[in-house]
Every structure is written in structure tokens, then in C-alpha cells.
Amino acid sequence: MRNVGIIMRRELASYFATPLAYVFIVIFLLLANWFTFYLGAFYERGQADLDSFFAFLPWLYLFLIPALSMKLWAEERNSGSIELLMTQPVTLPEAVLGKFLAAWIFTGFALVLTFPLWLTVNYLGRPDNGAILAAYLGSLMLGGGFLAIGSCMSALTRSQVIAFILGVFACLILLLAGFPGVLDVFRGWAPQSIVDAIASLSFLAHFDSIRKGVIDVRDLLYFAMLIGLFLLATAIALDLRKAD
């Protein structure tokens, strides 16, 4: 784990060594406030909660998280620095985990900076702070899922643009998996068990449960297993393509 920590700290420092981190955070905060107060009709709803923020957050993640993760491995492969990384006394799984954790911590930091929204609803009323805290936990897990998928897509190509497009597409599939319109396509010919299995893959189904204040172990396990699966796929993809 020592090597994981070293890579994580190096990667995290590299974010703040360039304008990328500050641009990402500013855009994230501006859009978060816009979605909450304008698209979410915060004041018109007349309720002291952050439901409008968390309802739009997955769609905000859909584009910003792949933009953050697209450079994780595509940049390393394109510049050739991945060969230098692999000559260090570090295993491929350690490198994958370290880079992922750095991106996840950075995402969590951006999420924490939305705390003025929490302070605002407490100033305006008496919200269910337990439910809001649960929703933040769900948001962090959701961000981890998006990042793991983005990491895998980044490992498949040298182009950051292609990695971004693949990341958005893969995340969109998991976002839409539980929508009635998508499930109706399968109901006409597939057994109900398959339809239920597809619905259970939906990001929104598991995230919505947590953001309502219900922390179910099954929802947490879903995100943990999803993250683990895509990080494993990242390591396999890098191992198969290291000679490219």
C-alpha cells in the first residue's frame, strides 16, 4: 500500500500543478449552483432541502467526470511515460489504484466545496441533515463509479478525446439502464428476470435510494463492486496493450 500512497500523492499534486484542477472546480461549482437554484427551481419549491442539487448531480457528473478521468492513462500512453512508470518498483494494480484514488479524492474535494448550499438550506429552514449527509455519501460513491469507468475507457486508447467520448457513452448507458423507455425495449422479448437485472444496473436506482436518506448495504456494495470491476478491467486493458 506504500506504493499506492506514493502514486496517489504524486497524481493529486499534479492536478493542482496545472490550471486543470481550478478550471474543473470552478465549472463544477458554477453548474452545481445553476442547476440547484435555476433549473431546480430552488426558491419556487419552497422546501429547505438539496433535492434539486442531488437530482441533477448525476447528469453533471456525466460530462465532468469523464473530462477528469480521460487523462488518467491516455496521456501516459500517448507520451510514453507509462513505460517509465512500469520500470519503477510498483505493480500495475498499485498504479491503477493510486491514480484512481487521487482522482476520487479530488472529486470529493470538489464535492465538499458545495457546502455553502448546505449552509443555505439550514439558514432558510430546518432540513433533514441526516438525509443530506447520506446524499453526499451517495454522491461520493457515484463519483467513484464514474471515475472507475472513465479510468477503464482511458486505458483503452491513446487519445484523450476518444477516452472522453467512450467514458460519457459508458456512463450514459448505466444512467439510462433503469429508465422505463429502456426497459420497455427488453420487456417485449426478454424474461422478467433479465429486465430486473438490467434495471438493477442503473446508477440512478442505487443513487436515488441513498439520496433519499436510506443507506442500504446493497447500494453501497453495488458501487464498491462496480468500482472494483472497472479498476480490474483497467489493469487488464493496460497489461494487454502495454506493448502498443
pLDDT confidence band for 85 (50 / 70 / 90): low
Stronger pLDDT, 162 or 82, i.e. the higher one: 162
Q: Residue 206, Cα to own-chain centre: how many angstroms? A: 14
Instruction: Reply yes or no on whether the pLDDT at 83 is more than 70.
Output: no
Report, as an integer, the average pLDDT of 174-188. 73
For residue 58, which of 235, 190, 179, 229 has the smallest C-alpha distance? 179
What letters, b where the CB count within 10 A reaches 16 and e where it falls short, cover 143-179? Answer: bbbbbbbbbbbbbbbbbbeebbebbbebbeebbebbe
Considering only 50-54, 79-83, 104-108, 155-159, which range has the smallest mean pLDDT?
A: 79-83
Q: Position 118: which residue type?
A: W
Q: How confident is the model at residue 151 (pLDDT cuts 50, 70, 90)?
A: very high
Q: Which residue has the higher pLDDT, 221 or 209?
A: 221
What residues contact residue 182 under an 8 Å CB cut-off, 6+ apart?
176, 198
- Give the pLDDT confidence of 90-139 residue by residue, as tens digits: 788 888 999 999 999 999 999 999 999 888 888 887 888 888 999 999 99
Q: Round to whole Å and give the CA distance between 94 and 194.
A: 35
**Cβ(167)–Cβ(65) under 8 Å?**
yes
> How many structural domains comprise the chain?
1
Beta strand residue intervals within 110-231, DSSP E: none
The three-class DSSP label of residue 194 is helix
Average of per-residue pLDDT values in the chain: 84
CA dihedral 150, 171, 174, 41 (to 10 degrees): 130
Residue 120's pLDDT is what? 86
The reported pLDDT for the residue numbered 17 is 83
- pLDDT of 181: 67
- State percent of the chain over pLDDT 90: 36
User: How confident is the model over 64-76, as pLDDT tens digits?
Assistant: 999 999 888 877 6
* Residue recorded with cell 448495504: 217
pLDDT (average), residues 189-205: 75
Q: Residue 234 has what pLDDT?
A: 92
Per the structure, the complete domain to which residue 11 belongs is given by 2-241
From CA 244, how far away is CA 238, in angstroms rounded? Answer: 10
CA distance 99 to 151: 9
What phi and psi, each to the nearest 5 degrees, are found at residue 41? 50, 55
User: Measured between alpha carbons, how far is 54 from 32 in angstroms, rounded to an integer?
Assistant: 9
Q: Is the pLDDT of residue 78 over 90?
A: no
pLDDT of residue 189: 63
Whether 244 has a pLDDT exceeding 60, the answer reads no
Please tell me the distance from the alpha carbon of residue 8 to that of residue 105, in angstroms, as a whole number.
Answer: 9
